[in-house]
Structures are given as structure tokens and as C-alpha cells.
A = this chain, B = another copy of it.
Amino acid sequence: LIPGMAINMNKISQELGISKTPLRDALLQLDIEGFVTISPRRGVFVNRLTVEDIRSCYEIIGALETAAILSVFDNIQPSHLEKMKWLNAALRVSLKREDYQTYYQQNLLFHDVFLGLSHNSSMKRIIMPMKRRLYDFPSRGYIKEWELSNCRDHDRLIDAFGTGDRAAAVNVWQNVHWSFESQEKYIRRFYYPESTGGRETQAARAAAGTPKQKRQRSVGRKKIASADV
């Protein structure tokens, strides 16, 4: 599935041996989540992830995760801090091993420590599909420098929880970790390597060439394909 291409419902329905009603439902869900656009009488099209889409996702996830942090701030226990510290150490190990698939899962688990304390299930239902849109593209190749910077943000959040400094927690989460402006240089290198010079593209190509990376890419592709129906 390539951005901009039309989805042939008859073909998918035949190939996967499923009827059109569940396919329609799945596409409607994907339209609501921003993955495809259903255009009456024209068809269903795979969306591009534009810079503006990314900016919007960052603003929304940043606002909501920060609200979640504030709402659970007083319920953070030493055991939660330990779990976040442990996960952040594990994230760094995965980065060292260049095991980005594990890194990605551990990263979601890190955020889930505080999101899991929130009772706001509607909020989690908004955040999850946005994260899938931002992250479910393991074929892009990762930028280690960006991920290390994310781990440092995690450290600062853990410190803010530990010292009870709400303002510091809000600042690192909304104004750094989920700030499009703060992350823009990495975002452009990650999502649009072709327009940010050759160095990153070469790095991404080199990384993509290892057998481990290729395995991860094929896993990632399978996941996307099954999510489409």
C-alpha cells in the first residue's frame, strides 16, 4: 500500500476471502483514524502522512499525555518510578543492539506506565491510533540520535515525578518531548529523508541493509497488511 493509491475493495475482498461488510467497517475505521480517505463515488485512497498531519498529531498527543500526567501526578508511587527507570534502561539496551522493534514496544510500555494510571479510556482511544499512524513504518530506518534524545526526555520526566515538580513534567512533555518545533529536525530526517540531504538517506540505507533490519521490515509490513483488513 503506497500513499495516494486507490484501494480496490473487490480485489481485497476476493484475495482475502472476506465479505465486503467487514471490509467496509474496517475502512470506515481507518478513515476516521486518518489512514485512508473514503471519497464517495471515487473510491478509497491511502493517505500520505504530511508534515501538517505530524504537527497535528504531536499537538494532540502532547496535550493529552500531559493532561494525563497531571491527572495521575499524585498517584505516582515509587514502584511506578522503578518501572519507568527499568524500562528506560531497557530502551537504551535495545538502542545499543539496534533492535528497534523491541525499542518501539518498550517505548509504548514506558508511556503506558502513566497512561495506565489514568481512568480516561476515551483519551487512550484517541492517542493509540495516532501513535500507530506516526510509528507503524519500521521500513523507514530509525535515527539513533533521536531515540537517545527521547530517552533523555524520559529521564527528565522520571525526575519531575520523583521530585514532585509538576511544572517540570509539563515542560519536558508538552514543550520538548511532544513539541513539533523541538523535534522538527528529527521528524524531517525520519519521515522525509529525501528532502533533508544525502547523509541521513545513506545512513538509513546502510541500516536497512543488515539482515536483522530486513527481518524487522518484513514483520512490520505484515503487521500493516493485516491491520488494513
Q: Which residues of A contact B (CB under 8 A)?
A: 21, 24-25, 28-29, 32, 34, 52-53, 55-57, 59-60, 62-64, 66-67, 71, 119-123, 126, 130, 174
**Residue from the list B25, B64, B67, B126 in contact with A24, Cβ < 8 A:** B25
A67-B63 in contact (CB<8A): yes
**Residue from the list B25, B60, B121, B174 in contact with A126, Cβ < 8 A:** B60
The interface residues of chain A, by DSSP majority, are classed as helix
A203 to chain B, nearest CB (A): 31
Copies in the complex: 2
Closest to A123 in B: B60
**Residue from the list B60, B64, B122, B174 in contact with A120, Cβ < 8 A:** B60
A32 to B26, CA, bound (A): 12
